[in-house]
Amino acid sequence: GQSLEQPSEVTAVEGAIVQINCTYQTSGFYGLSWYQQHDGGAPTFLSYNALDGLEETGRFSSFLSRSDSYGYLLLQELQMKDSASYFCAVREGGKLIFGQGTELSVKP
Amino acid sequence: NAGVTQTPKFQVLKTGQSMTLQCAQDMNHNSMYWYRQDPGMGLRLIYYSASEGTTDKGEVPNGYNVSRLNKREFSLRLESAAPSQTSVYFCASSEASGGPDTQYFGPGTRLTVL
């Protein structure tokens, strides 16, 4: 089966850069996804990496190293609205397995 | 397009009562999923349906049943609710055609079992 590990919480200040790490163990790898969830809301898709390297989408970037079974989500120019939980996820057959989530708190 | 819709938004049950959570998507997606999320926890898969007419157990299926009524609708039934089933329930759908297999989530149902 699959398992994912990510830090439970991270705190950063507005305008800073923060990195949320995710390590995974899989029996077969199809890519690493990231989802964002604001308190009380539904998770929404942020990014996906199937190959090694960095994918950039605006202020958010996601990195993958398949040889290290490791990825991270990088958030730049942090804003208060980025305070949320961030989940990494990997595919297993026809379903996604989610990590337990990292709660990001952005302070003024 | 409404995306993924869920009803009801909130529900309070007594132990032993039954209920069905409804989910519908209008994106013509093949796959649908039911998750539960407990405070401070990630999303745990209850059941999923890779295509119309098929359903499979996820990580925590005990105490639940599902029905893939048609391509649009996927319902979750609690036959005899227990306090341990107090949670937020999310339905999701995806094309499941490979690649990121992006899942689109409904707004959730907040269920309390007394």
Shortest Cα distance, chain B CAs vs residue A62, angstroms: 13
The per-residue b/e assignment along A73-100, b for 16 or more CB within 10 angstroms, e otherwise, is bebeebeeebbbbbbbbbbbebbbbbbb
Residue B40 has pLDDT above 80, yes or no: no
Give the model's pLDDT for residue B41: 78
Shortest Cα distance, chain B CAs vs residue A45, angstroms: 7
A41-67 confidence digits (pLDDT tens): 999 999 999 899 999 989 999 999 999
- Residue by residue, DSSP assigns A43-61 as -EEEEEESSSEEEEETTEE
CA distance A61 to A47: 8
Give the model's pLDDT for residue B1: 72
| Cβ-contact B112, B12 below 8 angstroms | yes
B10-19 confidence digits (pLDDT tens): 999 999 999 9
The residue among A6, A29, A95 with the most chain B CBs within 10 A of its CB, best to mutate, is A95
Give the model's pLDDT for residue A1: 64
CA distance A17 to A46: 17
Residue B42 has pLDDT above 90, yes or no: no
